[in-house]
Amino acid sequence: MDATRIIAIRHGETSWNATGRIQGHTDIPLNATGQAQAQQAAQALADETLAAIYSSDLQRAWQTAQALATSTQTALHPEPGLRERCFGVFEGRTFAEVAQSHPEDSHRWRKRDPHLVFPGGGESLLQLRERIAATVQRLAQQHVGEQIALIAHGGVMDILYRLATQQDLQAPRTWALTNTAINRLLWTPQGLSLVGWGDVRHLAPGALEESFS
């Protein structure tokens, strides 16, 4: 079977994650917790054989990917197609601030309106899905019979799950998008399928080796 195995990982925590600020394309680095999470995920996957690692070029994903590249001794490649959804002028604000300043857009966002484009050059859910589907297909086609890792963002992970389970963009989310959770998918020419989702055993207390503490 023409198949590519995929390990998909959301980046580690940032200070904006911790304070509920919308990041999008704004380039925020990992905080100390996120750096530890990246090391824990890298350590958990150290024995995996990877043909390549592709990461969003935003530094919170890139820093997470660098830890995995070091632990697995795998080549790391920047991939702008794996960036988070662009939220336009809402980036840097909290959800409460958006609800106050743009109540109609906030309502459509909560309802997961697939056509909503955020003011200031934002991206709709339909545009995001098209971008992620095309990027994953392009990368997976280069590694048939191999395993690759994709390091990206919460919005990207959400789209990957929906593509793999054929869930509509407006379906309520019932799956977790935890920082550095390990997710596994299989790509074939027919599309994505789900192998495993939301593995966070490496984030349990004591999972990180004492040498890192």
Question: Residue 10, annotated ligand binder?
Answer: yes
Q: pLDDT tens across 25-46, in order?
A: 999 999 999 999 999 999 999 9
Cβ contact 131:60 at 8 Å: no
**pTM to 2 decimal places:** 0.94
At 151, which amino acid appears?
Answer: I
Q: Please state the φ and ψ torsions of residue 19, each to the nearest 5 degrees.
A: -105, 5
Segment 70-105, tens digit of pLDDT: 999 999 999 999 999 999 999 999 999 999 999 999
Q: How many CB atoms lie within 10 A of CB 84?
A: 24
Active-site residues, by number, are 11, 84
Predicted confidence (pLDDT) at residue 115 exceeds the cutoff of 60? yes
Q: For 4-212, which CATH superfamily applies?
A: Phosphoglycerate mutase-like (3.40.50.1240)
Domains in the chain: boundaries: 4-212
For residues 51 and 213, give the distance between their C-alpha atoms in angstroms, rounded to a whole number: 30
11 is in an annotated binding site: yes
123 Cβ contact partners less than 8 Å away, ≥ 6 residues apart: 85, 86, 87, 117, 131
Phi and psi at 53, nearest 5°, equal: -120, 130
